[in-house]
Structure formats: structure tokens, C-alpha cells
Structure 1
């Protein structure tokens, strides 16, 4: 058996993503799949990308333990205070015999992707593998392993070396009385899907799952007292389509205390050996609860996806340790200290607020609804719009409590804006505008007659002049919203910002539009390679906006010092979509976006000397092109781009231009048989960057394609789905260099197959298929392509 030891060291997670921006939330950018107590105070959790966290105080604070692996880690367990195991993707098994001070990688001898593991003592252990449908067993503490057929299960539990049970997504529970050599199965309920099991002894056990497999349903808990032969219902959930996927018991003071957890914050709790279950669900802010553990003092630690770490004891409510981790839509501040973030509409009931510039974010779960928009008048007066019927919520005590307000609009309100405590407007579907002059006690409804898409945002600069943003329509009011003048544009609008009755800006999917005369005339600046949004200006010259592109390197924050005529990247994010930006008058800035990311800079006007050099991407060096070519390069921070083209190796220049934001330029009407040289460098007010390497391409106007790769490289590849996140449809693309049998399947986070998209022979070529997630719940899913020896998986996110 091949062994090698990875020695651990403690590291502090750096929150500095780029020079002037640092991460305030969440503490850890990982998903968490498994958690376990080692002793009364020490608790461990594992998750995505090789993350291992350790807490010495029952989960209150955590430190990263560096393992030196990037595998997703799905299970951690401790047999006693010294011996423990970690199991992860791509056959990873790690063992400790010294309380986690060192972890030794074990070669089990089988390829596996684990979804469950169980040890009854230091010698006997079992692993569930869903990749090849195996149960892998050891009887000598991991020295040797054997494998048997899995029964299509994803969870396994043994009470001793002989008696064990396993279950999957069907309405069956398999039982063994000989340590897994043979299995018998028993049915639970018709149509049910059973996802996890836990037994108190050889007779009494519990399973959890869904009441209606594959067709939606509610969480179900079933109990047996005869070893699994018959099952009775202990509890049903009360929210449709929200299953339970984990059940856990801890014996405390001679009583088994139980927990059943699942999707969208579903939690059931029993304090009497599983006889009676109480629903204490957390709500929509916690998409997938994955694992739970307790010590003898009833200190609970709960983990899940995305990035969920919660703790609780008998005398306190749930404490959110990792911060808000769901996608964020808006960040707003009312002064230099007090601010709020709001999740993507329809995704969560949670909000988060700060009173100290975001150094600490307090997660709030008291609105009982998912907000469509948020507006802060001051630190105590907060407004939300929510639902589909013209409702708002108002807080006059900083979010401690909320009043429900019916505007009478009868339609979804997408935006709310107050000029002061009394005068405010809300706007939404069909162009409806609701106006109040008494702080929201009474509302006047103004129907502008716009289409169902209606208004997405409303803003005013004084009691008379304001804008409302439609799909391609900008509505302007000169009389406090009583009447509106419409301007139809050739672009889908993404944001608007007014600084006065004359000066305003609009962002679209690929352009920034500016007016200096109240909207009568417009200047348009097109940027075809990025999607722009969340624009704001502090004066007529200094402004910011966000960019989200077709590739992750385009995501980031842009800064302009000339009224929006040109822009440079001051922050770039290759992981998260960035959704909202706010900058105060001291130039402190915040960005929020995917996975609960909140970033802060102390100076959003910071520009540094250019240290990066652009890399040329397309066409490849030496490529043959048609009469036009699209030149592409990498984006670098703090720079505009100088593009130069030459026909004589830069002894002379035939084309020279300075480009803002874009990382590409299309050249047309190129000369037949001509060879061209091209290069790019960054420039800003502080100086010039270094030139990139020089590439060449040759023109042949007789070819039909714009670019031909002379290497003619064609290889296996599985592309990232698009769009991602998606609701409910997305496209998955791949290419095959040779003919072969192709299997493309979709799995959930527990490894359960949810769809087979391709299962047939395919000739060489490029392909795409549409995946429909309409019958699935919000969460993270995986799709896997198998073609001969080639196997690749990717992650995608469904948000409803």
C-alpha cells in the first residue's frame, strides 16, 4: 500500500483579492458538505476544493487547515478523539491517528466518488461510491479494502460490524446482517425517495427523503422498530418540493436527540428518541443544508451549500458564522457606517446590515419575505418592495421590526425611492407608479400604460424631476410623477443614474448613454464585449459602474474621471458575478455579488502604475484569416489599451488606437496575401505599460471563415453551461475529436442522477444540448461527460 503524509500548518485566509479591495463577507468562499465533533469543543468541517476547517470552541471561530489537495471533500468522521477519516472526490482518502495533527493519504485501490461513509470502530468501515456503484469495505482500519455492488445507494449506516443499512433515491432501504456480504431490501412508501438513514440500534432506525420522488413533494421522516422490515411516518414537511436529505441522532443524558435537515432551510428536531418532531425550519436563505452534529452539551453545528456554517445551543438562536452566502443583488449605504445588502429577488428571506462600514455584517431573518428592492432613507428608515401585488415593508427602527404596507398598485413593485421621510415613489409592472406624500401611509396610483415588463427602477433628484427605467423605455417626469414622457431606445436598459435635472447616465447590455440636457440629446459609447450595470456618479466627472462579461475575466468594477467618456478597470473578479456597487462621498466603495461576496475599498478612485502585460488570445500566432479579423487580449487593471498593427514588424504603424474597457477590436477590409503584426499595451495617466508579445496573421480573402487555426487542433472538451446561474434552462456544449459512445448526465450534490441528456454513439464534432431544470429545486448540480477514456464534470447553479 502506497502511503505519503501531508503535514498540516495553520494559515490565515487573506481577504485581499486585489491591491485595493478586500473581502468583508463571507469569511470562507467554499461549500461545506460534512461536519463532525472530535471531542466536546473541537469540531471539523470539510467541503469544496479541498477545504478543511477546524474549530476549538464549538464552531464559534474557525481556522483553515492546509491539506494541499484540491479535491472536493464530502465526508469527515472521527471514530474517537484521535482516529479520523476524510473522503473526497477522485478516490481521495485521508486518515489521521493523532487527532488531526497530520493526515495520511491512503491508496484504497479503487476509483470512487464518495457520498457517504461509516465506521463502527477503528477496524470496520464502509464507503458508498456512486461513480461505479460500489460499497467499499475495510476490516483492518484501512490497510486493505474490498468492493461489492452498491444497490444504487447514496447513504450507508452500520450499528456494528454486522448490521447495516443503505439507501438511495428510491423507496427502498437495503439491510445486511453479515457486514455487507449480502443485502435484502424493504419498501418504505409508494413514490417516496429515501436519501439518508440512521439507526439507534439493530431494531430502531429512521430514514428521510421526499414524499414524491421525481414529481416534487415534501420532506418525509419514517421510523422502523423491526430493523427495517416495516416503516411508519414520523413527520411530513410543510413546504412543497423541499426534501430532507440528512438525519442525525446524538445520545444526551440517555435520550436520543434527533435532527433532520434538507433543502431551503428545512429542519426537524426531536428531543424524545424520534417519537415527536418539531418543524423549526430556517427558511429560504439556506438553499441546501448538508450535515449536522452535536456535542454532549447540545451545541449544534450545521453546514451546507452555499457556504453555510451555523451554530446553536439550548439558550440561543441560530448564529450565522460564515455570514450571508447567497447571491446578492444590492448594496446600499446611508452614511459612512450604516449599510444593507439584499439577496437576488426570489432567492432568500435574508437581509444583512452593518453599522461599522461592513467590517461586521449582521444577518437578518425577520422579514418573512424575499425582497424585490431596498431603499434606505437613513439608518432607521428602511423600505422594501416584495411580492407580486403591490406590497412594501417599512422599518422605522433600523430593521428590528417591519410593517406591511399595501400600496394598492396590485402589481409587482420592482423599485422604491424616497426623497425624504414623507415623499416617495415605487414603480413596477405595467408601468404602475405609486406615490406617497405622508411617509407611506397613503398612496396614489399612477398607471402609465407601459407593457407587463414595466419599470425596473425609479429615481428623483427633487420633488418634480425623476426617471423611471423600463426595458427599452426611459420615462421622464417633470411634475413629481403625475405624468411621464417616454423615450424609446434601441437597447435593453440595465441601470439609470441622475445627478441633476440635466445630467444623467444609462447603462445597457453593452453601452453607456449620457445626457447633459435632461434627456433631449444623448451621447452613446458602445462596448460590445461587456455587460454594464450599477452606474453611479458623485459629480459630473467622477463615476463608477460594473461590468459582467461573457467570460469571467471581464467581471469587475470600472472607474471614469471624465464623465463616462472613458473607463478603466479598478477591480476584476474571475470567480463571482458582481451585481451592485456603492461609493460614498469619501470614496469608500463596496461591491456585492454571487455567493454573498461583499468587497470594500478605502479608495475607489485608486489608480496605480501598470504592472500587468496583456496576453494576446485571438487569433493564434501565425493564423490564416479572412478579410476581417477580431483581435482579442486579456484585461488588465488600471489600464486602457493601446492597439498597434503593422505590416513590416513595427518599423512603421498602419493602425493605432486607444481602447477603453474592451479587450477586443475587429479589423475589416484587410489586404489579400498581406501579413500583419499586432501588439497591445496598457496605458493610464501615470504612465505606459510594457508591450505584449507580437503576434502575426496572414490574410487570404478567398477563405470563408474569419479565422483558421493553422494548428488545426481539435480535442475533447466540455464547456461551462450558459447561462450560469440559470432558470430553468441552460445550454451544455462539448466537442469530440473522434467518434465514440457519449454519455452526458446531470447529478445533484448528493451524487443522485437527475437527468440523462445523451446516451448514444456520436461522430466527431461539436455539440450542444439544452437542459431543463423546471422540475428541480434551487441548488448546485453537476453535469458529467463520458466519451471513451475521457471523463469531465462541471458545476452549474439553478436559481429559481
Structure 2
């Protein structure tokens, strides 16, 4: 254990990161009295939005040289309305989720606003909102009470309609669940459910309609932050422990650090086919890793303040919100860029494999994940206990990488089933064959 700790300290001191000690405070146009635990989102290096209290937000179109305070809605109705999460596509299109269950949108940079969703029979607290483009987005809210189950909302028409889609009820409470849910695209998302024993990490591959538990048993208490880079690579944090997965949550590695405080935000700094992950804790630290979590370094610029939110829209620009007691008192900007990053090619699978389906036993559906080091012809077939073919899940050429497929046993009887994978590739002239057992239990 001592040797591991020494190596970890060395990597923290020597690993290159986002340019340190070049953060500058931005104050022009900012009224800090409206900022509490504020979310921040940037669509690029110029256009940024910060959520606030009392129906106020702050926007910039010039990287923060000037900020504009914008008031949305009628302050006479719910005057203390808080913005819990924000999503910006460009300088014109911004979406807000509020603490009283509203989704609000502007298409002209904040001159006019539209109330897109407000239905207290479904939810009274929007915890999370993310727009992937001008049409497709996902939001999450509580049920009818603050301790109620989570509700997944989706839109495919820019928010003209937000529809509740999930068929399962998740527990939790309002205020911080946006830190424990993340969708990487309109179909694939993850959600960590607290308040249950054991703790559960759920995954959806059909836009939130169905959720399956993953093989997650890394924490016994509370996961404070969760965010995925893509459908396979994700990072999470609990007190003093950084967790990461490279296979869509099926398996996790972890690294213990000398920081047992609350995790506040995770951001991915992209550069071409490369990325660096940034993880912020309330204990004034931002940790960076450019090798998918193997080694980390910390930026000590913010030692005297708590960090609440971070945003890195690219490898040249970054924002950090700091303060104390939940009050945001400083907005920092760094426009000097990222020093190093890794190439995603380094994380392609080294071998052919197929994982045990999860969940298992299952009812009625389960996920099967497999990896290909080369582009290959793939055949995945499900058989019953008599050896009779039930269905063919995959039959064709697939690119190198990690893949997953859902098997739905709704029309089948309970029992033992088998699934086999067979691959061939012209790149390595090797065949791969493996059979796994799964149990359908109704």
C-alpha cells in the first residue's frame, strides 16, 4: 500500500494539465448576490450561461469579457425561483430547469422566453436538463414531492413537447440529483440511485424507457458525481475515491486520493480524438487525468475557496465557479489551453471478449456487451436449453470497439438460455467463439 501511495503522489506532481496559475477572475456585469450553487454550461469558447436565483441568469458571447444579467419570466410569480440546471446550444438557444418544476427556453439569446413544461402533477423540481442539438433533449425531475421518484422527460422537437418516458420509479431527493445522472446521447444514459441498499447504478439504452442495473458495487454510502465521456467511458466520485469504467459500467476501477470532500462537477476537455477529464471537489481541488484515470494531477489555484461548477467546452477555454457556503463569489476563466491529452486509439480493446449479460437473472430484458480489437464479422445467437435457436442478435460486420445489444425475453418462458458469439476478421486471421449462460426469471 505504501508503494502505491508514493507512486500516486509522484504522478500528481509531474503530470501536465490545463495551464495552471493562469486563471483570471471575471467580474464585468456579474451581480454575485444572485448566484448560489450555480450551474454553468458553455457551447464553445465564447458563449456561456450561468444559472442564478430570483429568475436571473448571466450570459456572455465574448468568453466572459462582459456578462449580461437576464431576467426571465414574471418575478411577481415565484420570485425566488432558482435555476437548477442549464443547457446552451449557441448564443441564441438556452434551456433552463428550475426548482419549481419548470423548463424554460429562449431562442433569441434571452430577449423572449417560452415556458415549455410545467406540470406539478408529474414533477415539481427539474434536477437535470441536457440538449444534444436544437431538437433532442432529456430532462429529469422529482415526482410529486421532493422525496418522490425521478421522472425522465424527453423532447424531439426542441421542447415544444416534453414527454414522461420511464416505466420505472427511482428514489432520491431534489437539489443535487443532476450531479448523479448523465445522458451521452438521446438514447444512452446513466443514473445513480441513493437511499437504497445496496447502492445501484442504472443504465438505459432506449432513451430512459427501460433501465437496467450495472455491475456496480464500488461504494457503500453515496456517489456524489457521475458523468460519461461517451457510452463506454465514464467517471464518478465518492468521498476520497475516483471511480472509472471503460466498458459502459460493466466493470469499474478505482483510485483513492487524499480528498474526502464532496465531489461537485466533472467535465471532459476534448481535442480532436483526445480528451482529458477534469474532476472538481468542494475542497478547492480540480483533478486532471489524460490517460483514462490511471494517473492524476491537481490544480491548486483555488485553495481558499470551494469549487461548485466547472465547464471546459474545448481544449482552449475553461470556467470555474468558486465561493463559500453555497454562495458564488468568484468566476474564473482560463483561455491558455490544455497542455497534453491522450488519443482515444489507446483505449481500443486488446482482445475479443463477450461479457456476462447484466442483469442476470433478468426479466424481461438484459444487456450483452462485447469487444472487438479489429473490424470483424460478428454473429451473436441466443439458444434455449435444447440447443434450438431462439433469435439472432447480431449478424454482420462491426467496427472495432466496445458494443452492446439488448435481448428482450418478453415472449419467452422462464428458464436457462445460452448466447454465443462467433467472430472472424481479415486483419488478424483469427476466429473467436464463446458461449455464455443466462437466466430468464419471471
CA contact (8 A) 1:529 1:550 kept: no
Matched, 1:423 2:188: yes
Contact 2:117 2:162 in 1 (8 A): no
Distance 1:564 1:534, change over 3 A: farther
Is residue 549 from structure 1 mapped to residue 324 from structure 2 by the alignment?
Answer: yes
> Paired residue for 1:444?
212
CA distance in 1, matches of 2:72, 2:322: 22
For 1:198-231, what per-residue CA distance to the aligned partner results, in whole angstroms no more than 9, with x for missing partners? xxxxxxxxxxxxxxxxxxxxxxxxxxxxxxxxxx
The answer to which structure, 1 or 2, has the higher relative contact order (CA under 8 A, 6+ apart) is 2
**What residue in structure 2 maps to residue 754 of structure 1?**
none
Q: CA deviation at 1:386?
A: 2.5
Shift of 1:358: 2.3
Would you say how many aligned residue pairs link Structure 1 and Structure 2?
256
Match of 2:252 among 465, 479, 484: 484
Query: Aligned partners of 2:263 and 2:219: how far apart in 1?
Result: 15
1:740-759 superposed Cα distances (whole Å, 9 cap, x missing partner) = xxxxxxxxxxxxxxxxxxxx
Give 2:112's match in structure 1, choosing from 332, 335, 360. 360
Cα drift, residue 561 of structure 1: 3.0
Instruction: Tell me by how many angstroms 1:452 deviates.
Output: 6.8
The DSSP-based 3-state class of the residue aligned with 2:118 is coil
Give secondary structure in 1 for the equivalent of 2:127. Answer: strand
- From 24, 32, 42, the equivalent of 2:70 is 24
Offset from partner CA, 1:690-734 (integer Å, 9 cap, x none): xxxxxxxxxxxxxxxxxxxxxxxxxxxxxxxxxxxxxxxxxxxxx
Unaligned runs of 5+ in 2: 1-27, 32-64, 143-147, 340-442
Within a 5 Å distance, the mapping from 1:773-792 to structure 2 comes to: none
Q: Does 1:334 align with 2:114?
A: no
CA distance in 2, matches of 1:471, 1:342: 27
1:532 equivalent in alignment to 2:307: yes
Contact 2:84 2:126 in 1 (8 A): no
Q: Deviations over 1:9-55 (max 9, x none)?
A: xxxxxx9558611111158xxxxxxxxxxxxxxxxxxxxxxxxxxxx
Structure 1 residues 582-607: Cα deviation after superposition (integer angstroms, max 9, x where no partner):
xxxxxxxxxxxxxxxxxxxxxxxxxx
CA positional deviation for 1:432: 2.6
Shift of 1:407: 5.7
Q: From 232, 235, 238, give the equivalent of 1:464.
A: 232
Q: 3-state SS of the aligned residue for 1:309?
A: coil
Q: Label 1:506 to 1:528 Cα distance change in 2 as closer, same or farther (>3 A).
A: same
Distance change (3 Å), C-alpha of 1:502 and 1:485: farther
SS in 2 for 1:503: strand
Aligned with 1:392 (options 127, 136, 152) = 152
From the superposition, tell whether residues 421 and 365 of structure 1 become closer, same or farther in structure 2 (CA, over 3 Å).
closer
Rounded Cα–Cα distance in structure 2 between residues aligned with 1:469 and 1:531:
16
Native 8 Å contact 1:433 1:446 kept in 2: yes
What is the aligned partner in structure 2 of residue 508 from structure 1? 281
User: Among 375, 396, 400, which residue is 2:130 paired with?
Assistant: 375
Distance in 2 separating the partners of 1:449 and 1:17: 43
Larger radius of gyration: 1
Distance in 2 between the 1:386 and 1:443 partners? 16
Shift of 1:559: 0.8
The corresponding residue for 2:294 is: 520
Matches within 5 A, 1:254-293: none
Alignment of 1:550-629 (within 5 A): 555-563=329-337
Please tell me whether the aligned partners of residues 116 and 161 of structure 2 are also in contact (alpha carbons under 8 angstroms): no
Summarize deviations over 1:286-328 as a string: whole Å, max 9, x none: xxxxxxxxxxxxxxxxxxxxx8325xxxxxxxxx9xxx75122
Query: In structure 2, what is the Cα distance between the partners aligned to 1:511 and 1:340?
Result: 29
1:372–1:495: structure 2 CA closer, same or farther, 3 Å change rule?
same
Q: CA deviation at 1:550?
A: 5.8
1:556-613, Cα deviation, whole Å (9 max, x unpaired):
3111134589xxxxxxxxxxxxxxxxxxxxxxxxxxxxxxxxxxxxxxxxxxxxxxxx
Contact 1:390 1:407 in 2 (8 A): no
- Corresponding residue of 1:308: 75
Q: Structure 1: which 4+ aligned runs deviate by more than 6 Å? A: none
Specify the alignment match of 1:630 in structure 2: none
Distance change >3 Å, CA 513–CA 564, structure 1 → 2:
farther
Matches within 5 A, 1:51-450: 308-309=75-76, 325-343=80-98, 347-368=99-120, 369=123, 370-387=125-142, 388-406=148-166, 408=168, 410-412=170-172, 414=178, 415-429=180-194, 431-446=199-214, 448-450=216-218
RMSD of aligned C-alpha atoms? 3.2
* C-alpha distance in 2 between matches for 1:435 and 1:484: 14
